[in-house]
A and B are shown apart, each in its own frame.
Chain A
Amino acid sequence: MNASAAGLLPDVSGHFGRYGGRFVPEALIAALDQLDAAYRHAMADEAFQAEFGRLLRDYAGVPSMLYRADRFSAAAGARIFLKREDLNHTGAHKVRNVLGQALLTKRMGKTRVIAETGAGQHGVATATAAALFDLECVVYMGEVDTERQALNVARMQMLGATVIPVKTGSRTLKDAINEALRDWVSSVDSTHYLLGTAAGPHPFPGMVRDFVRGIGVEARQQCLDQTGALPDAVAACVGGGSNAIGIFHAFVGDESVRLYGFEGGGEGVTTDRHSARFSGGSPGVLHGARTYVLQDEDGQTVESYSISAGLDYPSVGPEHAWLHETGRARYLPVTDAEAMDAFQLLCRTEGIIPAIESAHGLGGALAIAPALAEELGREPTIIVNLSGRGDKDVETAGSYFGILGK
């Protein structure tokens, strides 16, 4: 199991056990090979690492703080620490990944980036990096998401990106990915597909993880510095899975640290309106990798649902499928209602408005705290990855709580 922790996974062909790999048109293989080579070369290049580190520190505001949320903890019955990725430039953990990939884009001599976005966070982050690095930027976004995340569409446009609403299929994130892949097949010579999560074909899952794994490295050291011990549990929401794998990865080798991924439980996993791949899905192939997928008996993708656009995705990164299968991490659904309760609790106890995605991590922490306390016979320490801030979700939350009219 520690193969993952030691950075030995994925293997050379991009597999995490039976998950991962490359299920893409042959036309993309050369580009994936080029990306893999550029990434491996860059990771071994001190100048690249120094530049990436400088950008994270001076531009993105990394390392983010680890904050002990005392009032939220009192309500939770656990000592809750928040990894404040919401304070990064662009308001989410995703800036780490886009800066890494934008540097690689330059390194490969490409002049254009394309991206998919659900909530808009990755689109905004990509548009930001494209502006910084003088790259042409096209963002594909499901038409449904452009409507529920209109502010982020405006942000991307302000940053100089072209936003293309995707009108096919379910008109959400999965269809935006399809459209980005179609673009990439046609434009691969000049274009890098700046994939927004630790999913897709090899090398994306391992590469994106490596660009965001600083979240966990920092949190682990910060926790040791602040408490003198490792946490009992690490919690994160899981859409595609980059914030979760980013905070999990440094802890995978610490067997005493429980890893919890919280998926979009929507209206409940017994209904057909959720995004819980590990509760309601099964192994399958989607968007370039073998992983867990929400699918019907025929292998057709089933449309996912979550109040959070960023979790509304029927597939998940293959390393999470591996961590699930090996039992190293547990994946549990958190319903819209549980997430929104946690959202409100954090607002009222800590003065922090979280992204609704991150609120699923908070809601999950609240749910597991009592059993964990009982198991340990003491107050547990839980780090929650506060992966993004809630500015973009004010309208959704406002209408949910009846503060804003719909």
Chain B
Amino acid sequence: MSISEVFEKARAEGRAVSVGCMPAGFPTVEGSIAAMIAMAEAGIDVIEVELPYSDPVMDGPVIQRASEIALAGGVRTKDTLRAIEAVARTGVPVVLMTYWNPIERYGVDAFARDFAAAGGAGLVTPDLIPDEAQEWLAASDAHQLDRTFLVSPSSTDERLAMTVAHCRGFVYATAVMGVTGARETTSTAAPALVARVRAVSDIPVGVGLGVRDGAQAAEVGSFADGVIVGSALVRCVLDAPDEAAGLASLRALSADLARGVRAVKR
């Protein structure tokens, strides 16, 4: 199922889509594959793999730590592609969140080709804006991949419209001015930002940065098409005494998030 189809199906059911993130290679490549499959089995609609990067400027301490662990374990870009392939094989749509330099280093078109061959649906690019994305626009068209750029509460109307116009699949609305990490309360800026996207496009809008449980997922799902959760899921694995406990905790939170997005009829 493509990303667009997932959002269409959820819209038909009158609910939001849950998007769950996990860095590849954290705590190991096999462990991350098991974690992502567990998330999908527990009801997460879309898996967002994060490619571990040495300088993740958009990420807060939890994902930074997980990325450091993955890199210290020797994870390579080809391992991330292998993880994507393993997770995509189960039928769940997979997107990749990645900082730009590893893609540029791999070769933009080559990466798009190999990512598409692995069954990946599209990329979320936190430090690539459409203004700098000529190569990626061409490669994603050539290999029929979705493109998710970010919009922010600080984006001007003009930039927001331009950014949304370059997205395919869904647009990522950053709910808060800040880095990734679970927060006590969800953002007050998010509904307004989603409304601004809706004013210029009917593309699905995913909201991320700060959601940590089913209740918050329900709250965000009442106005957004997608609820993106990262740090809270990563923390399940980070804080667990062993892999089995981590998977159990991950399944429980995933199920809670899946219930959350279904709790509110839109």
Contacts and interface: CB of A to CB of B under 8 A. Distances in A.
Interface of A: 13, 21-27, 29-31, 33, 168-169, 174-175, 178, 181-182, 185-189, 284-288, 293, 295, 297-301
A29 B102 contact: no
Given A22-B129, A287-B55, A186 B105 contact: no
B106 A299 contact: yes
B159 A26 contact: yes
Contacts of B126: 25
A187 B154 CA distance: 12
Contacts of B161: none
A27 B177 contact: yes
Interface stretch (B5-13, B145-153, B240-248, B249-257): B145-153
A181 B61 CA distance: 14
Contact of A13 (B58, B105, B131, B152): B131
A31 B154 contact: yes
**On chain B, which size bracket covers the interface?**
35 or more
Contact of A23 (B54, B76, B128, B156): B128
Contacts, number: 115
A182 B57 contact: yes
Contacts of A25: 57-58, 126-127, 150, 152, 174
Contacts of B68: 168-169
A24 B125 CA distance: 10
Task: State the majority secondary structure of interface residues on A.
Answer: mixed
B163 to A, nearest CB: 7
Contact of A285 (B61, B101, B156, B174): B101
B155 A185 contact: no
B151 A26 contact: yes
B101 A185 contact: no
Nearest to A23: B127
Given A185-B179, A298-B76, A26 B152 contact: yes
Contact of A27 (B56, B77, B174): B174
A175 B176 CA distance: 23
A29 B101 contact: no
A286 B154 contact: no
14 contacts: A25-B150, A26-B149, A26-B155, A29-B154, A31-B154, A168-B61, A169-B68, A175-B55, A178-B55, A284-B105, A285-B104, A295-B105, A300-B54, A300-B71
Interface string B108-145: 00000000000000000011110110000000000000
Contacts of A187: 177
Contacts of B163: 26
A4 B3 CA distance: 45
Contacts of A26: 129, 149-152, 154-155, 159, 163, 174
B49 to A, nearest CB: 15
B154 A188 contact: yes
B178 interface: yes
B102 A300 contact: yes
B178 to A, nearest CB: 4
A299 B155 CA distance: 29
